[in-house]
Structure 1
Amino acid sequence: MAHTVVSGSGTAESDDPLQTAVWRLRSRGCWSDAAELLTPSAGDPPVALQRAALLIERCLYTERGWAEAEDALRAAEAVARDDDERGAAACERGYLAYASTLLGVRDRADEARAALGRSAALYAPAAPGRALLDFRRGLVAQNLADSPQAARAAYRRAHAAAAARCDDLLLSSTWRHLAGLALREGELAEARHGFAESLRLREELGYLVGTAPALASLADAETEPEAARLLSEARRLFQLLGGVPTWLAAKLAAAPAA
């Protein structure tokens, strides 16, 4: 099962003290605290959307908080003013429905596809949000439609756009998911390179909550004893962050200690 951590703007680089504080909390899995910092300004459409994105990401990592995320997303949809803002809200709507389906909470696959399609129709051709949209359409193609070819095409579009925009967090996820497809096809060298790039970017960003999954993914493409070392490090981070992402627990529990 493949998962992603990308939601919201995707980078931490900001001179804004508020955004710096939000990033530090988000990167450590403190999504509720990060969202709370944004609450006083949640009448502003970009802030409302960012707050919803944080709470949706919490759902994917913790498998809880669905009602709060839904409420925040509805609030963001209500204050969106133009097509790009409505397109961004639709992209988050599709991602929330995708997460619900992927984690077995409720089958919302049709809603996910419809919302992402609506986002594509609303976005201007050069809208910055198209990179994240392409990535999420790749997730739906891979994990809900079992269409790796369509997923690869979408991931590659997102990868190119993320590289062009220096969106390193999104780039870390496109590297990881392209590597996962390569591993599925037995292309070990390509998979190892992609997983290593994903891990490098997340470590450089200080995205701690996304580092354990990156370590575990790289372990899948490595041989012993390196694979065991990577899984041991992933387990340490997983425990440090209070057992998130929840869906990584079974894999780490089954792995032998280094």
Structure 2
Amino acid sequence: MSGYGTTAGDDPLQTAVWRLRSRGCWTDAAALLAPYATDPAAALERVGLFVERCLFTAEGWAEAEDALRTAEAVARDDEERGGAACERGRLAYAATILGVRDRADEARSALGRAAALLEPTSPRRPLLDFRRGLLAEHIADSPQAARAAYRRAHDGAAAQGDDLLLSFTWHHQAGLALREGELAEARHGFSEALRIRVELGYLIGAAPALAALADCEPEPEAGRLRAEAGRLFRLLGGVPVWLAGRLASTVPAQPAKPSEPAA
């Protein structure tokens, strides 16, 4: 099994999982992996699917917790335990940022444990760096620490050829640039994030990228981008849920507001 964060490849199962995931069919994608749930890599991948569902829908917390406990139970070494800790940190972060329950301390503790377990050369390090950046930006409100973590994640994703993660590091670095009024840098980052997601067919990530790019553009281009984001949002049944307010309002979104809570 390939690890969480990968896109479709030569493996027919992974191709099917990716196609479902990219369209927001997380439960169906996880069901394909259920027969392999005792395999640590497959167990981690199922967790990733369920947590992503939580982030995009604010639902499915119990399923995510169950999948996480399974992944923790079947982990055999520090690399796999570190991967599970990274997912626990992400789930706790999601619950906090979406206002379900304040689990910020748990998120910090879990990601700290992941950092202690994973070797510096671990292929999971870029994803861990990115998630630590999310905590720094959205919970600790430390843009400087977030920027450093995003840059490490960006470099690691580029070195590994992890295009999906790269789209998120582009997006969040652009978000920081927008907060500082650096419109050209923000426009470039959001454009790169959108380009990668379109090329990968990551449909559920296109609307947030379009809405974020709209914040960098003057009218009428900004309106066109938001209209396209709204079309995709409706096509996917109102996912991601946290985008609804921004797209429903006729007032341009405030640049300081995160354009997407996590990856």
Question: Structure 2 length as normaliser, TM-score?
Answer: 0.93
1:68-99: CA deviation from partner (whole Å, max 9, x where unpaired): 10000000000000000000000000000000
CA distance in 1, matches of 2:9, 2:82: 24
Q: 1:1-258 alignment to 2 at 5 Å? A: 9-255=4-250
CA distance in 1, matches of 2:216, 2:98: 24
CA distance in 2, matches of 1:255, 1:166: 38
1:9-61: CA deviation from partner (whole Å, max 9, x where unpaired): 32314110000000000000000000000001111000011001100000000
CA distance in 2, matches of 1:222, 1:157: 28
CA distance in 2, matches of 1:9, 1:105: 24
CA distance in 2, matches of 1:247, 1:96: 16
Answer whether contact 2:4 2:44 (CA < 8 A) is retained.
Answer: no
Return 5+ residue gaps in structure 2 as ranges.
252-263
Answer whether contact 2:207 2:233 (CA < 8 A) is retained.
Answer: yes
How much identity, in percent, do the aligned residues show? 74
Answer whether contact 1:231 1:255 (CA < 8 A) is retained.
Answer: no
Across the aligned residues of Structure 1 and Structure 2, the Cα RMSD in angstroms comes to 0.8
CA distance in 1, matches of 2:30, 2:8: 18
Return 5+ residue gaps in structure 1 as ranges.
1-7
CA distance in 1, matches of 2:6, 2:231: 25
Shift of residue 232 of structure 1?
Answer: 0.4
Question: Structure 1 length as normaliser, TM-score?
Answer: 0.95
CA distance in 1, matches of 2:37, 2:9: 19
Q: Which residue of 2 aligns with 1:5?
A: none
Q: Which residue identity is paired with 1:230? A: L
CA distance in 2, matches of 1:35, 1:80: 18
Answer whether contact 1:182 1:190 (CA < 8 A) is retained.
Answer: yes
Q: Which residue identity is paired with 1:109? A: A
Shift of residue 255 of structure 1?
Answer: 3.3
Answer whether contact 1:228 1:255 (CA < 8 A) is retained.
Answer: no
Give the length in aligned residue pairs: 249
Q: Which residue identity is paired with 1:168? A: D
Q: Which residue identity is paired with 1:113? A: R
CA distance in 1, matches of 2:112, 2:156: 19
CA distance in 2, matches of 1:189, 1:204: 22
1:138-192: CA deviation from partner (whole Å, max 9, x where unpaired): 0000000000000000000000000111100000000000000000001000000
